[in-house]
A and B are shown apart, each in its own frame.
Chain A
Amino acid sequence: MATLRLDGLKKTYPNGFVALHGLDLTIDDGELLVVVGPSGCGKSTLLRMLAGLEDITEGSLYIGEKRVNELEPVERDIAMVFQNYALYPHMSVAGNMEYALKNRGIPKEERRRKVEETARLIGLQDLLDRRPRQLSGGQRQRVAMGRAIVREPQVFLFDEPLSNLDAKLRVQMRLEIRRLQKRLGVTAVYVTHDQVEAMTLADRLIVMNEGRIEQLGTPMTLYEQPASTFVAGFIGSPAMNFLNANADGDTLTLPCGSQLTSPVDVHGDITLGIRPEHLVPVEESPQALTVQVELVEPLGADTLAYATLAGQTEPLVVRFDGVRRLNEGDRLWLAPDRERLHVFDPDHGHRLTTTETSTTS
């Protein structure tokens, strides 16, 4: 159990590619921090640096009070769960789980006791004698978890541990990981590119983009106050709609002629962000956005509509209650909630607040 502190952590690969541009971050004791971002943004690199599998080019990493830059993985007292599980194929489940204990010179009796205890915790009691190839994907995933838990490490590191499982199992294992991590109270860093997984698991969440932290916060903060169009587009599903608009004080004018009240006081061209679930259908009115439905996706609980709005290139995604019947070609009037509009800089994508003025005013 420990806090994890990253101080200007930077990674340059031998070929000169800078994968991480100096991260500063503190992960609290017992916290589950999720790192999310598109493919190639440096999530695995970060995790492998924490694990000690990849050298730290610059900066310092502290686990607890100790600087661990130069320590081998085993000396950092971390446990890692790999995407493809990386179980030892020739060892039984019990053998896989106790290997780390064995290397530490823990006597056989104690090893057995610990392995059995952990196996009970994660429901592997009956599989201890099996080889990895005799297990299903979900069971292998559990063994990989067990191998991490049995060592009682200071930090858990997960690199997309659920991405090889089917959708249903993924939901189940997600809950289980959350439950276990809270119960054991071990600090954890969890990497994923699935934003639903990220939202549901995280105490705090990092959105990464090209080796930089784009935003750090609780899942709800990131959802409600995304710091940039990148974060806004990444968190929430379906993704936020972005519209071109012109701001003049608290009035926003869209190319289609509709006028909305802005939550912030800015001037000039802006990018307006509206989440699909925050577009409410209303009676015909000059204030409302007039759209024409192009495509309907009924999902059961919700219905998604892709609709065209004059003056916008991208179709607008709108989320309705599943009971609402929609047809392609329908005309709708939508009124967004003022408090839930997001205003971004059109060039750099960062969130605009009242104190700032748009750069292109």
Chain B
Amino acid sequence: MRYRRPGLDITSHTLLILCVIVFFLPVWMAIVAATHTQSSLYTGTAPLWFGSEGLGNFLAVLSDPVSRLGTDATRLLLNSTIMALGIAVGKITIAILAAYAIVFFRFPMRMLCFWAIFITLMLPVEVRIMPTYKVVADLGMLNSYSGLILPLIASATATFLFRQFYLTVPPELLEAARVDGAGPWRFLRDILLPLSKTNIAALFVIMFLYGWNQYLWPLLITTESDYMTVVISLKRMLTSADNLVPWHTVTATTLLAMLPPIIVIVLMQRYFVKGLVDTEK
């Protein structure tokens, strides 16, 4: 429904534009700062226009080891991507299978399983971080990708969402598939997964961001710079004891760290907006 009210239009647009400026200003300053040299950033006023370096700072952090980290941003981004992808894909896979079992199979203690999964919602990593650390350390998974990914991979939220979705699938669809000779795996692959495309896309974005933004867990278990994630590295660059903070490198790395989530959102939102518009159920 659209109303034609010119006064309202102007007010709301002004408001929106203001919000955009407020939100975008820090980003703009980061972009600008990333194009300056370190010395020109320490002249007293924060610059509002591009400096002399252009893309030089970006190329530098991507190719050369960053000071005090001992590794370059390419490696950091790679680590973060592997971790975020691992978490997102793992969470979704496990959630799909768990929800599938709970909704479509009759096995003893089915509801107990469901509630057991459900109450783990109350136990995020932060709460169980010490025991988890101990387990991971004992398994020798400190400083490894599996150590970064596995403790975060189970997701009650996603399981719950998939369960709710599966419950809305008409039971006749399952029966029709059975009559048509589709076994459990075929039904999952040919019918259930295509129908949950929208859910998968939306959850993938959410879970990717969740994995990408993990801070406490990677901070705890990665001591080698080879497994450091980009989010951790930012904090590390800022904690300088003796010399000045290299703002040009920090901002360049920050901007690089923002890119993959943006790319994921842009790519995926097409799927789920499409899915929401022409829902096939």
Contact = CB atoms under 8 A, between A and B. Distances in A.
A90 B172 contact: no
B178 interface: yes
A4 to B, nearest CB: 16
Contact of A80 (B175, B194, B281): B175
B111 to A, nearest CB: 15
B181 interface: yes
Nearest to B173: A86
Contacts of B173: 86, 88
A84 interface: yes
Contacts of B172: 82-84, 86
Contact of B179 (A74, A83, A88): A74
A103 B173 CA distance: 16
Interface in A75-107: 78-80, 82-84, 86-90, 99-100, 103-104
Contacts of A151: 180
Nearest to B182: A103
A278 interface: no
Contacts of B195: 89-90
Interface string A116-154: 000000000000000101000000000000010001000
The secondary structure that dominates the B interface is helix
A90 B182 CA distance: 16
Interface residues of A, number: 26
Given A51-B179, A78-B179, A84 B186 contact: no
Interface string A41-73: 000000010011100000000000000000011
A256 to B, nearest CB: 53
B167 interface: no
A89 B191 CA distance: 9
A74 to B, nearest CB: 4
A103 B179 contact: no
Interface in B148-192: 170, 172-173, 175-182, 186, 190-191
B280 interface: yes
A86 B170 CA distance: 8
Nearest to B191: A88
A100 B181 contact: yes
A230 B180 CA distance: 37
Contacts of A80: 175-176, 179
Given A53-B175, A80-B175, A103-B186, A90 B280 contact: yes
Interface of A: 48, 51-53, 72-74, 78-80, 82-84, 86-90, 99-100, 103-104, 131, 133, 147, 151
Given A78-B179, A80-B176, A82-B176, 12 more contacts: A48-B175, A51-B175, A74-B179, A74-B181, A79-B179, A82-B172, A86-B170, A88-B191, A89-B195, A100-B181, A103-B180, A151-B180
